[in-house]
Amino acid sequence: MERAVLDHVAAEVAEGCRCEGGQPKNFARPCLLLLLSEAPAHGYELIDRMRPFGFEVGDPASVYKTLRQMERDGIVLSHWELPGRGPARRVYTLTNDGRDLLDSWAHTLERNRAVLDTFLTRFRSPAPVEAGRRDPRSIDSARQSVGGKR
Protein backbone atom coordinates (compact mmCIF):
# COMPACT_ATOMS: atom_id res chain seq x y z
CA MET A 1 0.00 0.00 0.00
CA GLU A 2 1.15 3.51 -0.68
CA ARG A 3 2.38 5.50 2.30
CA ALA A 4 -0.32 8.20 1.84
CA VAL A 5 -3.06 5.56 1.97
CA LEU A 6 -1.55 4.02 5.09
CA ASP A 7 -1.34 7.44 6.75
CA HIS A 8 -5.00 8.10 5.88
CA VAL A 9 -6.10 4.73 7.28
CA ALA A 10 -4.04 5.26 10.45
CA ALA A 11 -5.57 8.72 10.95
CA GLU A 12 -9.07 7.33 10.42
CA VAL A 13 -8.48 4.56 12.95
CA ALA A 14 -7.09 7.05 15.46
CA GLU A 15 -9.99 9.48 15.00
CA GLY A 16 -12.73 6.89 14.63
CA CYS A 17 -14.64 6.22 11.44
CA ARG A 18 -15.55 9.48 9.74
CA CYS A 19 -18.62 7.82 8.26
CA GLU A 20 -20.42 7.50 11.59
CA GLY A 21 -23.43 9.64 12.35
CA GLY A 22 -24.89 12.39 10.29
CA GLN A 23 -26.95 12.15 7.16
CA PRO A 24 -26.11 12.08 3.48
CA LYS A 25 -25.45 15.53 2.05
CA ASN A 26 -28.68 17.42 1.34
CA PHE A 27 -30.85 14.71 2.96
CA ALA A 28 -32.77 17.45 4.78
CA ARG A 29 -34.33 18.60 1.51
CA PRO A 30 -36.11 15.33 0.61
CA CYS A 31 -37.15 14.92 4.25
CA LEU A 32 -38.68 18.40 4.30
CA LEU A 33 -40.38 17.74 0.96
CA LEU A 34 -41.85 14.49 2.28
CA LEU A 35 -43.09 16.11 5.49
CA LEU A 36 -44.67 18.98 3.58
CA SER A 37 -46.35 16.51 1.20
CA GLU A 38 -48.07 15.08 4.29
CA ALA A 39 -49.25 18.45 5.60
CA PRO A 40 -48.31 22.15 5.55
CA ALA A 41 -46.25 23.07 8.61
CA HIS A 42 -44.23 25.78 10.31
CA GLY A 43 -40.49 25.49 10.90
CA TYR A 44 -40.43 24.26 14.49
CA GLU A 45 -43.02 21.60 13.70
CA LEU A 46 -40.90 20.43 10.75
CA ILE A 47 -37.80 20.32 12.95
CA ASP A 48 -39.63 18.12 15.43
CA ARG A 49 -41.01 15.85 12.68
CA MET A 50 -37.50 15.39 11.19
CA ARG A 51 -36.18 13.56 14.27
CA PRO A 52 -37.31 10.08 13.10
CA PHE A 53 -35.08 10.59 10.04
CA GLY A 54 -32.04 10.88 12.29
CA PHE A 55 -31.87 14.66 12.53
CA GLU A 56 -31.01 16.18 15.87
CA VAL A 57 -31.10 19.81 14.91
CA GLY A 58 -29.02 21.81 17.33
CA ASP A 59 -29.40 24.99 15.31
CA PRO A 60 -32.90 25.59 13.88
CA ALA A 61 -31.43 28.34 11.69
CA SER A 62 -30.05 25.67 9.33
CA VAL A 63 -33.56 24.30 8.72
CA TYR A 64 -34.96 27.79 8.16
CA LYS A 65 -32.11 28.57 5.77
CA THR A 66 -32.91 25.40 3.81
CA LEU A 67 -36.62 26.27 3.74
CA ARG A 68 -35.89 29.80 2.47
CA GLN A 69 -33.67 28.37 -0.28
CA MET A 70 -36.38 25.87 -1.19
CA GLU A 71 -38.83 28.77 -1.45
CA ARG A 72 -36.43 30.69 -3.72
CA ASP A 73 -36.15 27.51 -5.82
CA GLY A 74 -39.94 27.44 -6.18
CA ILE A 75 -40.48 24.07 -4.53
CA VAL A 76 -42.22 25.41 -1.41
CA LEU A 77 -44.39 28.43 -0.67
CA SER A 78 -44.89 30.14 2.66
CA HIS A 79 -47.44 32.42 4.25
CA TRP A 80 -47.77 34.01 7.66
CA GLU A 81 -50.31 32.53 10.02
CA LEU A 82 -51.59 34.32 13.10
CA PRO A 83 -52.42 31.75 15.75
CA GLY A 84 -54.92 32.60 18.50
CA ARG A 85 -52.03 33.01 20.92
CA GLY A 86 -48.34 33.54 20.44
CA PRO A 87 -46.34 35.09 17.62
CA ALA A 88 -47.09 34.81 13.92
CA ARG A 89 -45.64 31.73 12.25
CA ARG A 90 -44.52 31.16 8.70
CA VAL A 91 -46.29 28.07 7.35
CA TYR A 92 -44.74 26.19 4.43
CA THR A 93 -46.57 24.26 1.71
CA LEU A 94 -45.33 22.15 -1.16
CA THR A 95 -45.68 23.35 -4.77
CA ASN A 96 -46.25 21.11 -7.79
CA ASP A 97 -42.56 21.48 -8.63
CA GLY A 98 -41.81 20.38 -5.07
CA ARG A 99 -43.96 17.26 -5.55
CA ASP A 100 -42.09 16.47 -8.76
CA LEU A 101 -38.77 16.91 -6.98
CA LEU A 102 -39.94 14.67 -4.12
CA ASP A 103 -40.79 11.98 -6.68
CA SER A 104 -37.29 12.29 -8.17
CA TRP A 105 -35.71 12.06 -4.72
CA ALA A 106 -37.75 8.92 -3.95
CA HIS A 107 -36.51 7.23 -7.14
CA THR A 108 -32.91 8.24 -6.39
CA LEU A 109 -33.15 6.96 -2.82
CA GLU A 110 -34.62 3.66 -4.06
CA ARG A 111 -31.63 3.20 -6.39
CA ASN A 112 -29.22 4.11 -3.60
CA ARG A 113 -30.95 1.70 -1.23
CA ALA A 114 -30.47 -1.13 -3.75
CA VAL A 115 -26.75 -0.33 -3.95
CA LEU A 116 -26.45 -0.10 -0.15
CA ASP A 117 -28.35 -3.39 0.27
CA THR A 118 -25.91 -5.05 -2.12
CA PHE A 119 -22.95 -3.64 -0.20
CA LEU A 120 -24.32 -4.71 3.20
CA THR A 121 -25.28 -8.18 1.98
CA ARG A 122 -21.78 -8.77 0.65
CA PHE A 123 -20.22 -7.28 3.78
CA ARG A 124 -22.22 -9.57 6.07
CA SER A 125 -21.70 -12.77 4.09
CA PRO A 126 -18.46 -14.74 4.16
CA ALA A 127 -16.17 -13.68 1.36
CA PRO A 128 -15.80 -16.35 -1.31
CA VAL A 129 -12.31 -17.62 -1.94
CA GLU A 130 -11.09 -16.21 -5.23
CA ALA A 131 -9.77 -18.67 -7.77
CA GLY A 132 -6.09 -19.27 -7.19
CA ARG A 133 -6.09 -17.60 -3.76
CA ARG A 134 -6.23 -19.31 -0.43
CA ASP A 135 -8.43 -18.20 2.40
CA PRO A 136 -6.06 -17.09 5.22
CA ARG A 137 -8.55 -18.36 7.81
CA SER A 138 -8.35 -21.90 6.42
CA ILE A 139 -4.54 -21.72 6.34
CA ASP A 140 -4.45 -20.64 10.00
CA SER A 141 -6.92 -23.38 10.91
CA ALA A 142 -4.85 -26.02 9.11
CA ARG A 143 -1.67 -24.83 10.80
CA GLN A 144 -3.28 -24.98 14.22
CA SER A 145 -4.61 -28.48 13.62
CA VAL A 146 -1.10 -29.78 12.80
CA GLY A 147 0.52 -27.76 15.58
CA GLY A 148 2.19 -25.23 13.33
CA LYS A 149 2.64 -21.55 13.94
CA ARG A 150 1.72 -18.66 11.76
Asked whether residue 11 is domain-assigned, the answer is no
Please give the tally of structural domains in the chain.
1
Query: Is residue 89 scored above 60 in pLDDT?
Result: yes
Query: Is residue 105 scored above 90 in pLDDT?
Result: yes
Could you list the residue range(s) of the whole structural domain that residue 88 is in? Answer: 24-120
DSSP state of 92: E
pLDDT, residue 12, reads 47
Assign residue 90 the CATH number of its domain.
1.10.10.10
CA–CA separation, 32 vs 62, rounded Å? 12
Closest CA to 57 of 41, 70, 43, 77: 43
Count the alpha carbons within 13 Å of 76 in the hemisphere toward its beta carbon: 29
Tell me the pTM.
0.67
Contact status, residue 33 vs residue 98, Cβ threshold 8 Å: yes
Count the alpha carbons within 13 Å of 53 in the hemisphere toward its beta carbon: 19
